Structure 1
Amino acid sequence: MSSSASAPDTGTPAPDVSESSPASEPADQEPTEETVTEDSPTPDEAETFGGGDSTSGDDGLTTGSQSLNCGSLPGSGTFTDPLRLGVIHGSVTAQGCLPLTPGKPFNVRYFSFTLPTAPGANAHAGASFTINQDGIGPVYPAVIMPGGWILKHSLGSGYWTGTEPFFTGRYQEISDLNPGTYILSTEKLDTAINSLTTPHYDVVVDAGS
């Protein structure tokens, strides 16, 4: 998956990807490995949010792409009360999430999603954005268990779309996850060069089906 974006005026500093990501609330429970080695928790009752193009498969589940309004998602965006994307049967995009600004609690925002079945080979989750002069800080995603275990670190894994310094997104591969409920954190690096606001961004979770 790749995308491109029109390059803004020159002079925009390239994102510094060598720095560590800001500490998140569950950091003290961080595992030593990022690979999923145990079954995910059984998902609680979760709603499937409608919208967008979708079709009903042979199993009766909703498939296809769905678009949601990020500002209308239930939840507050904290780790204990994440914005809820619902059950992911195909691809879900939460559009128009507000920029992440310097300092806590605004440099990280949490989303939850549930995979009802094993994801496909191309499954991914992350953030889509367009770097511009008013928002030069990229958005870094991480995948976390509801109990706090970090499975996919925002800098330790993941990949970019677009061309440096005008990246258009950063994503985590989630094809190795078990069915269950997960937390997707979206972070802004808390460093001197990336202390400015991120652009507005979309959150994308694709089950790869």
Structure 2
Amino acid sequence: MIRKCAMTLGALLLASGCGGASHDGSSAARSPSADVSESASGTASATPDVSSSPPGTDSTTQEPVEETPASQSATSDAPQTWSASVGSGDGEQSADDGSLDCGSLPGSGTFTDPLQLGTVDGPVTAGNCDPLTPGSPFNVRYFSFTLSGAPGSSAHAGASFTLTQNALGPVYPAIIQPNGWVLKNSLGSGYWTGTEPDFTGRYQQISDLAPGTYILRTEKLDSPLHSLSTPSYDVVVDPDGR
């Protein structure tokens, strides 16, 4: 009897131990699934926001704009205005004896901005004008003058010069209206002073001109093979013809 009870008790104890081992194994199997879910949750929270703008695309960034210098924006191609009188007005020379310095005349010497001799009431000479050389714009220079009255019968305008061994090119004058119309061409009219080859000047008759403003064009026409330069020269306008 006692042995039988002992065997029954042992069987019960053995059954109870197996049930506990089975319960612990089931808990251990379920724990990795929780780690996986936590890992998945962390991965989802780390996903970048594709709706945000990529680096370097700030809409406020602009390319630099190059500004036009003030000196360039103020530049104009319009001809400069000038007062046609010698010895009066600001910036003009006093020439009671009719002698002017060519390098000090107002203007730049272009057709639209000629060197200004002013109103010519008597003989006027602009001395020591720079030599003319081949190639634009050095082969031509423009002067403006205004006749206040009808010129005399021997009135003339042109250039006086002295040829040298290194400057054999003469200076040729032409008479042009301010609108560009050529009244007296450099080669079609005009006369020399001095004797060939030692010419001392070339002039245009202006006795037939009406009172008003005119352009005197001085230019170098001979070839560079003959001479690379004219001498320096004087511009002469004599409305009286004395």
TM-score, scaled relative to structure 2: 0.61
Q: Which residue of 121, 125, 140 corresponds with 1:108?
A: 140
Identity of aligned residues (%): 70
Report the structure, 1 or 2, having the larger helix content: 2
Q: How does 1:100-179 map to 2 (within 5 A)?
A: 100-179=132-211
CA contact (8 A) 1:141 1:154 kept: yes
Deviations 1:23-53 (A, max 9, x none): xxxxxxxxxxxxxxxxxxxxx8422233243
Q: Deviations over 1:94-143 (max 9, x none)?
A: 00000001111100000000001110111000000000012110000000
Structure 1 residue matching 2:103: 3-state secondary structure:
helix
Q: 1:194 to 1:153 in 2, by over 3 A?
A: farther
What's the counterpart of residue 84 of structure 2?
46
SS in 2 for 1:127: strand
Name the larger-Rg structure: 2
Deviations 1:43-76 (A, max 9, x none): x8422233243xxxxxxxxxxxx00000000000
User: How far apart, in 2, do the equivalents of 1:144 and 1:103 lie?
Assistant: 21
Higher RCO (CA 8 Å, separation ≥ 6 residues): 1
Q: Equivalent residue of 1:171, what SS?
A: strand
Q: Which amino acid aligns with 1:114?
A: T
How many Å separate the matches in 1 of 2:115 and 2:226? 25
Judge conservation of contact 1:75–1:84 (CA < 8 Å) in 2.
yes
Q: Distance in 1 between matches of 2:130 and 2:166?
A: 13
Secondary structure at the residue paired with 2:132? Answer: coil
Unaligned runs of 5+ in 2: 1-81, 88-93
Partners of 2:159 and 2:201 within 8 A in 1: yes
- 3-state DSSP class of the match of 1:71? helix
Change (3 A) 1:149 1:189: same
Letter aligned with residue 157 of structure 2: A
Q: Is the 8 A contact 1:131 1:137 kept in 2?
A: yes
Greater shift, 171-180 or 194-203, is seen at 194-203
Number of aligned pairs? Answer: 154
Long gaps (5+) in structure 1: 1-43, 54-65
On the 8 A contact 2:166/2:227 being kept in 1, the answer is no
Equivalent residue, structure 2, for 1:81: 113
The CA RMSD measured in Å over matched residues stands at: 1.4
After superposing on structure 2, the runs of 4+ consecutive aligned residues of structure 1 that deviate more than 4 Å are: none
Choose which of 198, 201, 204 in structure 1 pairs with 2:230: 198
SS in 1 for 2:186: coil
- SS of the aligned residue for 1:155 comes to coil
User: Going by fraction, where is strand more abundant, 1 or 2?
Assistant: 1
State whether residues 120 and 239 of structure 2, in contact with CA within 8 Å, keep that contact through their aligned partners in structure 1.
Answer: yes
Q: Are the counterparts in 2 of residues 139 and 198 from structure 1 also a CA contact under 8 Å?
A: yes
